[in-house]
Amino acid sequence: MRVVDLDRDMSDVIPTGLTPDSEFLFDQMTQITLDSTGARPGTRVLDVASGVGQDSLALAARGASVIGAEPSQRMTGMAQLFVAEREGPHPLWVRGWADDLPFKEGSFDACICKGAMDHFDSPERAIAEMARVTREDGVVVLAIANFESLACRAGRALDDFRQDVLRLKPLRERRGYDAPSDHFTRYEIDLIREQASASLRIQSIEGVSLGWGMPGWSKTMARLPKNVADGAVRTMGRLGRLWPQLSDVIVLVGKPRRSASTSR
């Protein structure tokens, strides 16, 4: 039996009041992922695990023909409501699992999967499927949260110190460096590189943002004058690009490998 919550929505994931560091992280993650597709009029793009559909819609607004594939009827229902209020070209929605995509080999110029790989019960099969449905010189773009980021390492070190030396409780009940209960995989740079390289020839690995979730960071950014906070998160963002292994989010771009195991 497949243990996936098909009724989930994003209310526990998407922060409501955005602080400058969250704003920077979510904007950059989205922009870099979408830009990497090369979406423009005439291109075909697949958004795997499209959720509430905001990325599919943004890609369609760039002129691409977009399909959002999503197993959760509830998420797709929210996506339909979300796009119904918006003008311009709309994506198509298809119900489908990432590891069994209902498309022929080479159907798309680009395929994205943003913020979802850690929810998949067979992520390697999902990457192989994304490689299969993307044409040989197209791109597959995978964006994942890095659970070995600087912020995760700092949070864990601080909690260890509090518990082992000061005999105090961890700072927060939900420790940001532990994968949430609805994640199957706790991603970091080596793992995504290893999983992706079985089906993709990796073109780039980019780090997005640095320090998000570090103890006290968000509160400090929210208290600073907006221009100072924006400058600080941008500077940290530049460091995240230099050290993707420490960044908050990793965006991997690869081209499909064609082999017996990636065709069917």
Within positions 91 to 110, which residues make up the interface with ligand SAM, using CB under 6 A?
97-98
Of 67 and 232, the one with the shorter C-beta distance to ligand SAM is 67
Name the segment binding ligand SAM (CB under 6 A); options: 47-55, 87-95, 162-170, 224-232. 47-55
Give CA 80 to chain center in angstroms. Answer: 21
Name the segment binding ligand SAM (CB under 6 A); options: 48-56, 146-154, 160-168, 250-258. 48-56
Report the residue from 18, 23, 38, 71 that binds ligand SAM according to the rule CB under 6 A. 71
What strands lie across the sheet with 44-48, from one edge to the other? 92-94, 65-69, 44-48, 108-114, 134-145, 249-256, 200-208
- Nearest distance from C-beta of residue 225 to ligand SAM, angstroms: 30
- Cα gap 58→189, rounded to integer Å: 27
114 is a contact residue toward ligand SAM (CB under 6 A): yes
Name the segment binding ligand SAM (CB under 6 A); options: 116-124, 189-197, 198-206, 249-257. 116-124
Nearest-CA neighbor of 21 among 233, 250, 223, 235? 233
How deeply is 17 buried, as exposed, middle or buried, from its count of CB atoms within 10 A (0-12, 13-18, 19+)?
A: exposed
13 is a contact residue toward ligand SAM (CB under 6 A): yes
> Is there a contact between 55 and 112 (Cβ–Cβ < 8 Å)?
yes
- Nearest distance from C-beta of residue 168 to ligand SAM, angstroms: 32
Matching residue, tokens 């819609």: 57
In the complex, the residues that contact ligand SAM under the rule CB under 6 A are 4, 13, 49-51, 55, 70-72, 75, 97-98, 114-116, 119-120
